[in-house]
Amino acid sequence: MIRSEIRALLLLLAPLTLLVPLLGCGGDETPVSPAPSQTIVIGIDALDWQVVDPLLEAGELPNLAALANVATSGVNLSFVPLEKSPLIWASMATGLEPEDHGVGGFLKGRDEDYETLASAGDWRSPAVWDIAGAAGRRSCVIGWWVTYPARAIEGVMVSDHVSYTEAGSRNPDGMVQPAALTDEVAALVVDWRDVPDDLVRRLVPTVTDAQLADPDDQRLRELRVVLAGDLTYLATARHLADREQWDLFAVYLRGLDLMCHKFWVYMDPGDAREPAADDRALYGDVVPNYVRLLDDWLGELVAMFPADANLVVVSDHGFHGPRRDRSGTIRKGVAEHRPDGALVIRSALYRQGTRFDRTFVLNMGPTLLALMGLPPSQEMPGRVMRDHLTDAGLSYVEHLEQHRIGSYAALAPAPPPEVAEDPALDAAVKKQLRSLGYVD
């Protein structure tokens, strides 16, 4: 199937299109989605109900609680054995197995050569924003994994690499498409040295002024670097949210996963060595405090968009801290993850205030497409999440499932623009991956 055929089919199937009755192609039988097609995705790496639920029950996450009241929530089950985040987010964005979308880990290939970072050129298959673009929809995508160099989409793409603020002399090439937006997005980047002390105090309330002023305090520096990354994505989201009425707006926040990797042990050492008591006292609540901070940001993001827009909060996996393997070695990196991620979907397709057991990460692509009123393809092994669909939602989803497109392969992205090599950026990314235990 070629691009123009896919486009014609999408125009026939998409809701609210006036073309259907005009073309006389079963217009009366084409159900209209009970939901508007505008879809907002808030990706929160490593969000886990095990951490969230006690805070929810204590009334400490008012924005997530309000959202859950009008949404369906449950577990987004990740790949087992556990896979790295870039691969999972690409599987959710494409609805495809890793072998079919081409995005491996943090570095090129699945057996990482520890040399070359993964790049946007690794994507061999279209993401939901490419499919939406073929249907004439406009997307704004911020911070999604493996989007450097940013490539042209129908809309705006801000690369995940925009958040590596330690790179200092970083070259802004490849950070955003259209490239004309480079200067205004570059101006939004939050340098870790500019992260307000008040925000640091929210994570480590007993920190002293002397500690805050100490430039050699490595852990506080790491805390600021992580905060700066999410603050950068948030600033970009604020800046771009109302630039136009986006059909798809997706923003990814990585900070929670990083905070978990760096600070979980102070809350729960698990199999790892017991940290010093004063470190436990200082850093023991960083993880729940970060979730509280995320709740503030969630409230702000939700309020930026119409209350009837589809809204998805999704994570790629959960977290349980360092574990000892059979040989007795403490495993870090992906071994600290657990497969149970979190998912919240607010949409007129689904019953409000419901809780489902679990869905699978490969159902995410078809589900996002269905929210936008677009059919999945027959290449996608997952299916639209069915739990708690309303009656109208169910008949609409069945219609989309029956009209799966054979293949979206013709919408595969063109290679990203060539950008000059940037050794400082490369080094900053690798340094962070190494500090997390993801690469040696």
CB nearer to Zn ion: pick between 257 and 285? 257
Shortest Cβ 317–Zn ion spacing (Å): 7
230 forms part of the interface with Zn ion (CB under 5 A): no
CB nearer to Zn ion: pick between 224 and 262? 262
User: With CB under 5 A as the contact rule, which of the stretches 155-163, 254-262, 380-388, 426-434 interacts with Zn ion?
Assistant: 254-262
User: With CB under 5 A as the contact rule, which of the stretches 149-157, 236-244, 256-264, 354-362 interacts with Zn ion?
Assistant: 256-264
Judge contact between 358 and 67, C-beta under 8 A: no
Shortest Cβ 208–Zn ion spacing (Å): 30
Residues within window 350-389 making contact with Zn ion, judged by CB under 5 A: none
Token pair for 238 = 């604020």
CA distances from 387 to 145, 334, 360 (A): 28, 29, 12
CB nearer to Zn ion: pick between 153 and 260? 260
CB nearer to Zn ion: pick between 188 and 436? 436
**One-letter identity of residue 248:** L
Shortest Cβ 436–Zn ion spacing (Å): 7
State which of residues 48, 112, 257, 285 lies at the interface with Zn ion (CB under 5 A): 257
Question: Distance (Å, rounded) from C-alpha 424 to C-alpha 164?
Answer: 10
Q: Which residue is nearest to Zn ion (CB)?
A: 257
Question: Distance (Å, rounded) from C-alpha 150 to C-alpha 148?
Answer: 5
Shortest Cβ 270–Zn ion spacing (Å): 15
Question: Distance (Å, rounded) from C-alpha 249 to C-alpha 263?
Answer: 30
User: With CB under 5 A as the contact rule, which of the stretches 184-192, 249-257, 270-278, 369-377 interacts with Zn ion?
Assistant: 249-257
CB nearer to Zn ion: pick between 247 and 257? 257
Residues within window 196-215 making contact with Zn ion, judged by CB under 5 A: none
CA distances from 136 to 64, 248, 412 (A): 32, 11, 16
**One-letter identity of residue 198:** D
Q: Beta strand 310-314 with 340-346: parallel, antiparallel or unpaired? A: antiparallel
Q: Beta strand 39-44 with 248-253: parallel, antiparallel or unpaired? A: parallel
CA distances from 341 to 30, 160, 387 (A): 34, 21, 17
User: With CB under 5 A as the contact rule, which of the stretches 3-11, 88-96, 252-260, 362-370 interacts with Zn ion?
Assistant: 252-260
Question: Distance (Å, rounded) from C-alpha 61 to C-alpha 293?
Answer: 9
340 forms part of the interface with Zn ion (CB under 5 A): no
Contact residues for Zn ion, defined by CB under 5 A: 257
